[in-house]
């Protein structure tokens, strides 16, 4: 018995709609596509122009402090949470998504100069000019209701009173120890009321302290005597020290290359060093026109953000001499602290005008959920821009940044002064005996001496 079956293809009787996406297969034979490079160049040019049109980096401001924001810390256990401390003694836990205060930590009688969080995100350590170190228990921010925050501010678990005021604090990675900077570098245990160890090298104040994320026993400090020092907790004395021409305000370790760190200096520059070879900087990052106050690396380690006294936030590639982005606002005053978010998508800056500001790490990045087609298009345009970025027109558009007039004029003045000093050096060398004057490169010039 023969059975006949009627079969139909859905494509033959289904009506074609305008939303249907037909897959087109391209033939990439260069003989057939003679204008491909010209077309790609125009696409790169248009992509660079569109980036400038859609570059709106400022997301929003977070207000609540009544004095200048002096320090910030990320919560490693909670992506959206970060802490800020101000000069009025107030510490707040913020939610980046809602841009609101989740919890307040009140107790300091003077300015809060340093905050840090343990690696598990459960304990917050703060220190300040009131000569106290306070330990706070951090609750899960998702469980704290917003209407309970101001009625029940958090109380400190422990309060340790010491002999001198503190300038900075940092917690050890995956450990119970934390270090405070003041008259000396003091190493504390969370469970003990006195330091377990103290390091001193000279009689000057220590300004900042940072633990190495790769080696929990190594830490770097900067002092008011223009020094950068390395300490090892396994040794009874400091390891190495360099003296620079100007003071270093902050230090940040590269999370992906733990032997490298970058120092934010008073001379408007940042200097990247290899901890194993301190007699020369690996790279000099310059674009600021006033003292660089704070620095923080992206979680990827490929770039870092700096905040400066010139009222701007800049983003530098880790191995580039000039910034790829500069952020500024009409009302933003001197930037004292800056931090990348834990996922590297945002930058938070705290300034003298009591506000915290949230910025996009990529100024023209589209917020929200992207469709696969949109993501592919963004990736393609980025690849095209990267391919043609060396051509003059594309390069000019990509590099252009609008600056406030005072900063633009100050930058022009700095360039004039640098050119004048360079000409003076060349003339001095030309009118001296051959070999009597040696010019030190900029990477070595700022270092006066190294002490071991």
| pLDDT tens-digit readout, 203-214 | 688 999 999 998
Report percent pLDDT > 90 for the chain: 61
What letter does residue 46 receive in the DSSP assignment?
H
For position 142, what pLDDT does the model report? 58
In DSSP terms, 271 is beta-bridged to 263, 284
In DSSP terms, 352 is beta-bridged to none
Full set of structural domains in the chain with CATH: 58-360 (2.130.10.10)
Compute CA distances 266 → 248, 285, 352, whole Å: 6, 13, 18
Q: Can you tell me the mean pLDDT for 225-246? A: 88
Q: Which two tokens stand for residue 101?
A: 């205060």
State phi, psi for 191 to the nearest 5 degrees.
-100, 5
Strand stretches in 112-196, DSSP E: 112-117, 123-128, 132-137, 158-161, 168-171, 177-181, 185-189
Q: Can you tell me the mean pLDDT for 269-278? A: 93
Alpha helices in 106-256 (DSSP H): none
Question: Would you place residue 392 in the very low, low, confident or very high pLDDT band (cuts 50, 70, 90)?
Answer: very high
pLDDT digits 0-9 by tens, 112-138? 999 999 988 889 999 999 999 999 998
Compute CA distances 77 → 81, 118, 120, whole Å: 9, 9, 6
For position 151, what pLDDT does the model report? 42
pLDDT digits 0-9 by tens, 353-373? 999 999 999 999 888 888 889
For position 236, what pLDDT does the model report? 72
The DSSP line for 374-402 is: HHHHHHHHHHHHHHHTTSHHHHHHHH---
For position 121, what pLDDT does the model report? 86
For position 152, what pLDDT does the model report? 57
Q: What angle do CA 129, 132, 134 make, to 5 degrees?
A: 120
Report percent pLDDT > 70 for the chain: 94
């Amino acid at each position: 018995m023969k059975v006949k079956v009627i079969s139909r293809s859905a494509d033959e009787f289904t009506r074609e709609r305008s939303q249907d996406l037909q897959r087109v297969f391209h033939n990439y034979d260069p003989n057939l596509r003679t204008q491909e490079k010209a077309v790609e160049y125009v696409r790169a040019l248009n992509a660079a122009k569109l980036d400038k049109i859609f570059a709106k980096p400022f997301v929003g401001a977070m207000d609540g402090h009544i004095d200048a924001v002096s320090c910030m810390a990320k919560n490693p256990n909670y992506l959206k949470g970060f802490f800020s401390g101000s000069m009025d003694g107030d510490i707040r836990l913020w939610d980046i998504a809602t841009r609101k205060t989740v919890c307040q930590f009140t107790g300091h009688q003077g300015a809060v100069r340093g905050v840090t969080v343990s690696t598990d995100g459960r304990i917050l350590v703060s220190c300040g000019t009131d000569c106290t170190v306070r330990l706070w228990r951090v609750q899960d921010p998702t469980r704290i209701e917003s209407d309970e925050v101001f009625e029940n501010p958090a109380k400190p678990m422990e309060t340790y009173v010491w002999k001198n005021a503190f300038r900075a604090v940092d917690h050890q990675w995956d450990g119970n120890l934390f270090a405070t900077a003041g008259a000396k570098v003091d190493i504390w245990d969370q469970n003990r009321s006195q330091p377990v160890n103290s390091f001193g090298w000279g009689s000057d104040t220590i300004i900042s302290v940072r633990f190495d994320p790769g080696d929990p026993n190594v830490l770097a400090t900067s002092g008011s005597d223009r020094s950068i020092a390395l300490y090892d907790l396994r040794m009874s004395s400091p390891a190495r020290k360099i003296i620079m021409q100007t003071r270093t305000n902050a230090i940040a370790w590269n999370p992906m290359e733990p032997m490298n760190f970058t120092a934010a200096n008073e001379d408007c520059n940042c200097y990247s060093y290899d901890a194993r070879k301190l007699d020369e900087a690996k790279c000099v990052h310059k674009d600021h026109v006033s003292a660089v106050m704070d620095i923080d690396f992206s979680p990827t380690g490929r770039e870092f953000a700096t905040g400066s006294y010139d009222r701007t936030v800049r983003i530098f590639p880790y191995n580039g001499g000039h910034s790829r982005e500069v952020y500024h606002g009409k009302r933003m005053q001197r930037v004292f602290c800056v931090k990348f978010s834990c996922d590297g998508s945002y930058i938070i800056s705290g300034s003298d005008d009591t506000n915290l500001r949230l910025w996009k790490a990529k100024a023209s990045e589209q917020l929200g959920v992207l469709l696969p087609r949109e993501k592919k298009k963004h990736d393609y345009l980025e690849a095209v821009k990267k391919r043609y970025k060396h051509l003059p027109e594309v390069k000019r558009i990509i590099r252009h940044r609008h600056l406030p007039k005072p900063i633009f004029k100050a930058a022009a003045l700095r360039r004039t002064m640098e050119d004048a000093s360079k000409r003076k050096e060349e003339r001095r060398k030309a009118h001296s005996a051959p070999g009597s004057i040696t010019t030190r490169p900029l990477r070595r010039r700022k270092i006066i001496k190294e002490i071991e």
